Structure 1
Amino acid sequence: MKDLQKLLEKLSNTHGISGYEGNVRTVMEDELREYADEIRTDKMGNLIATSYGSGPSVMIAAHMDEIGLMVKYIDENGFLRFVKIGGWFDPTIHSQRVIVHTVNGPVKGVVGCKPPHVMKEEERKKPPKAEDMFIDIGVTSKEEAEKLGVEVGSPISVDREFAALENNRVTGKAFDDRAGVAMVIQVMKEISRMELNVTVHAVGTVQEEVGLKGAKVSAFGLNPDVAIITETTISGDYPGIDKKDSAIEVGKGPAITIVDAAGRGLIADQGVIKWLKETARQHNIPYQLDVADGGTTDATAIHLTKEGIPSGVVSVPTRYIHSPVEVISMEDLSSCVELVVKAIENIDTYL
């Protein structure tokens, strides 16, 4: 578990918003190089690492991108206005430290907006909106910002590092979906020690947070017999959220998706669900069943590719998703890896 935690820490501390996943792809490629027969990057930027066998093909996929921001405008005093890339809850952005990724290297900044001391009473009653915020990088003019390499279109990520909590729980940014990427890498490492006849495509997809774009392209090119997407899912075990909104709990094991987005995204293949459930029971792996009203994953795009690809999702329960302080249990993450490994090992029971 310590090695898995170190891997997650490395991935979480790496920056890569949607469309700018290169640094994450490099880490993933370095980790997978000795465990795959072939590694390539497709035209969209998806990383595909394949271990060939004579039997059926399985795609295991996780998205490499994280939600972020992008410079939209630099005012005359050097303050940066931005747009959101991916699904943010605006108050989460306020008062964060950020990194502007420029052609000359990283530039630190902070997100600011009008302080409450000078707000009118009506303004103080409303949560701050991203459109009213700006980024202060410490310069005094647009020209000074541009000399640092900041320009319209510079991607921006949150400046937050991984940390360990009590009870084998950890916190950091971008666990959605670097936890899934860690799963994919660890699964490939473990199946490399097995004698399997299955072909496994380990895929790091791009631009999931802005439309499941990389999943569509990679799945079309691979056309596997079955796909398992490794993800995060919302837990409902902390103040402010009811079990009727999510019955998933941190520390209770992997979540197997039955339906997400109330069926508008994925209605998981029943054969895949049975395969995952029976594998978990056979190997005494605790698991939870996830039926969600909202949120989709790469499985939504993958299962609709070509004539259809049977797909399922194995997720690690996660608190505070789409914030810089997501929290998961390393025991859950380890169990997710075990479930996917054992499922691939037992693929003959599905196909």
Structure 2
Amino acid sequence: MEKLVDSLKKLSNAHGISGHEESIRAIMEEGLKPYVDELTADKMGNLIGTKKGNGPSIMIATHMDEIGLMVQYIDDKGFLKFVKIGGWFDPTLHSQRVVVHTKNGPVPGVIGSKPPHVMKEEDRKRPVKSEEMFIDVGATSRDDAEMMGIAIGTPVSMDREVVALANGKITGKAFDNRAGCAILLEVMRQLADKDIKATVYAVGTVQEEVGLKGARTSAFSLDPDIALAVDTTISGDHPGIDKKDAAVEQGKGGVITVADASGRGLIASPQVLKWLIETAESKHIPYQLEVGDGGTTDATAIHLTRAGIPCSVISVVTRYIHSPVEVVDTADVKACVDLLVSSIEAIDKYF
């Protein structure tokens, strides 16, 4: 467990918004290299580790990117206007510390806006929109900002590190989907010394948060027999949300997706569900089932690739997804590892 949590912390504390996953790919490459027979990066930037076997092929896909921001404009006073990269809820951005990833290295900044003291009464009653915000790096002019290495298109991520909460929970940025990345590394480490019949493709995908792009291209090139996406899902166990809207809870195991986006995204293969559920029950691994009506995962793109690829998703229940203070229960992360390892060991009984 300690190694798994340390890996998650390292991955979460690192930075890699969609289209700029290089730092995460380097960590993943280092972690996968001892446990796979081949390791390559494709033209999109997906990392693909292959552990060869004589049975069916399975793709385990976990996206490396996090939601972030990108510099759109530098004004005359050196303030940075930005666009959102991925699905931000605007109020979570306000008053955050950020890292601006310039060609000269990281530059710290803060997100600001007009202070409420000078707002009109009606403006104080509504949330500040992202287009009304800006990033302050302390620059005194556009030239000053450019001397720091800031340019149009410079990526920006949240300045936040993982800290422990009570009862095995931890909080940090980008658990969506660095939790999946840490799970994949631990799964491949545990599989290394096992007699696995399947060929396992361990894939760190890019640009999931902006359209499932890396999953689409990597699945096309690999054309696996089966695929599982490893991701996060929203929690229904805190104030402000009803169980009817999110039935899964923290501390009750990994989540197996039956369908997401009301079936518009993925309807999981019945045979894949049978495989995962029977394995979990036979090994006494805690699990939950989910039918969601919200977002999708890499599995949505993968299962429609080529002639179709049987898929499901294994997810970690995560509070406050798409914010800088996401929370996971480390016991759930471990349960996802256990389910994946045991399922892959039993794959030849089902496929």
TM-score, structure 2 normalization: 0.99
Tell me the CA shift for residue 197 of structure 1.
Answer: 2.0
Cα deviation 1:285-333 (Å, max 9, x = unaligned): 1111111111000000000000000001000100000001100110000
How does 1:246-261 map onto structure 2 within 5 Å? 246-261=246-261
Cα deviation 1:59-97 (Å, max 9, x = unaligned): 001000000000000000000000000000000000000
SS in 1 for 2:128: coil
SS in 1 for 2:193: coil
Percent same amino acid among aligned pairs?
64
What is the match of residue 66 of structure 1?
Answer: 66
What is the match of residue 125 of structure 1?
Answer: 125
Tell me the CA shift for residue 349 of structure 1.
Answer: 2.4
What is the match of residue 2 of structure 1?
Answer: 2
Cα deviation 1:32-77 (Å, max 9, x = unaligned): 1110100000000000000001111110010000000000000000
Unaligned runs of 5+ in 2: none
SS in 2 for 1:161: coil
8 Å contact kept, 2:71–2:151: yes
Measure the CA separation in 2 of the matches of 1:253 and 1:349.
24
What is the match of residue 15 of structure 1?
Answer: 15
**RMSD of aligned alpha carbons:** 0.5
How does 1:171-190 map onto structure 2 within 5 Å? 171-190=171-190
Measure the CA separation in 2 of the matches of 1:148 and 1:177.
30
Letter in 2 for 1:336: C
Tell me the CA shift for residue 348 of structure 1.
Answer: 1.6
Tell me the CA shift for residue 213 of structure 1.
Answer: 0.1
Tell me the CA shift for residue 139 of structure 1.
Answer: 1.1
Matched, 1:102 2:102: yes
Unaligned runs of 5+ in 1: none
Letter in 1 for 2:209: E
Measure the CA separation in 2 of the matches of 1:124 and 1:137.
25
SS in 1 for 2:327: strand
SS in 2 for 1:327: strand
Measure the CA separation in 2 of the matches of 1:135 and 1:43.
32
SS in 2 for 1:217: helix
TM-score, structure 1 normalization: 0.99
Measure the CA separation in 1 of the matches of 2:26 and 2:187.
18
What is the match of residue 269 of structure 1?
Answer: 269
What is the match of residue 241 of structure 2?
Answer: 241
- The ranges of structure 1 where at least 4 consecutive aligned residues each deviate by more than 2 angstroms after the TM superposition are none
8 Å contact kept, 2:55–2:348: no
Tell me the CA shift for residue 195 of structure 1.
Answer: 1.1
SS in 1 for 2:321: coil
Cα deviation 1:209-239 (Å, max 9, x = unaligned): 0000000000000000100111100010000
SS in 1 for 2:187: helix
What is the match of residue 330 of structure 1?
Answer: 330
Tell me the CA shift for residue 244 of structure 1.
Answer: 1.0
What is the match of residue 317 of structure 1?
Answer: 317
8 Å contact kept, 2:197–2:347: no
Measure the CA separation in 2 of the matches of 1:335 and 1:286.
7
What is the match of residue 37 of structure 1?
Answer: 37
Tell me the CA shift for residue 163 of structure 1.
Answer: 0.7
